[in-house]
Amino acid sequence: MVSLAHFVAEHFATADRTVLCGITLMRPRTAATVASSGERAQLMDEIQYAFDDGPCLNSARRRVTNHVPDVLEEDQPWAEYRAEIASHGLRSILAVPIHLNSPANDADRDDSAPRGENAAINLYADGPGAFSAADISKAESLAADVTTTVAIAVRLAGSSDRADQLEAAMNSRTIIDLAAGMIMAQNRCNQDRAMTILKAASSARNIKVRDLAASVVASVSAEQPVTHFDN
């Protein structure tokens, strides 16, 4: 999606206007920039996440377009955030939602509390009044056009996250099984008894079973254990 962020930034840039683009993914408990046109765009998004509010987060959460013609104009929300953005030399912001996970009855839903994952395209420009009504319309159309692309990318990223979580769980299970095997050999007991001993020691020392198991294995091997799985 990095190429998409670059494309959007270049699409709205002009000879006398620099435009930055970030794409925010809003999950139930967190927001993150999944693609940006550069480090500066990434930083602008992260500033907003630190405030936990702003035009881009609001667009993702409520599925509405937010346009800030000039961050220095006082009669607008997000005062502290706008001041911070201005200190970085940016004056205009445009945020448009990407409608992910839209149910069939989307027209009847309460947009103040959308379910699942939401996203937004965030545009920042270095001059006031950078985005015209035509630009806003183009941005909204573009967001609609890339919905499927972003949804697929999010789904693939989720699959990758789940694969990483599965591998981590398998690694953890292997370390615990190795430690249990060592306890079985040392105490001449079965696996159930070895696991009981390991869990009791974990509770007594107030450390995770996996961490204790790793220390047991390391004490025998004299190095940190590393698990291997065929890809």
**CATH code assigned at 140:** 3.30.450.40
Q: What is the pLDDT of residue 78?
A: 94
d(CA 142, CA 128): 22
Q: Is there a single domain that holds both residue 121 and residue 90?
A: yes
pLDDT band per the 50, 70, 90 thresholds, residue 169: low
**Domain CATH code at residue 199:** 1.10.10.10
Judge if 18 and 80 occupy the same domain.
yes
pLDDT at res. 26: 86
Sign of the torsion angle spanned by Cα atoms 140, 143, 148, 115? negative
Averaged pLDDT, 212-218: 84
Highest mean pLDDT among 10-24, 139-153, 154-168, 182-196: 10-24
Tokens of 104: 């069939």
My answer on whether 100 and 180 are in the same domain is: no
Closest by CA to 69, choosing from 89, 90, 92, is 92
- How far apart CA 107 and CA 99 sit, in angstroms, is 12
Among 32-36, 60-64, 149-153, 157-161, which is the least confidently predicted range? 157-161
Q: What is the rounded distance in angstroms from the CA atom of residue 47 to the CA atom of residue 207?
A: 35
Residue 168 domain-assigned (yes or no): yes
Dump pLDDT digits (tens) for 89-109: 999 999 999 988 644 334 444
Same domain, 17 and 126: yes
pLDDT score, position 18: 93
Q: Are residues 78 and 104 in the same domain?
A: yes
> What letters, b where the CB count within 10 A reaches 16 and e where it falls short, cover 27-60?
eeeebebbbbbeeebbebbeebbeeeebbbbbbb
In a domain? residue 150:
no
pTM higher than 0.75, yes or no? no
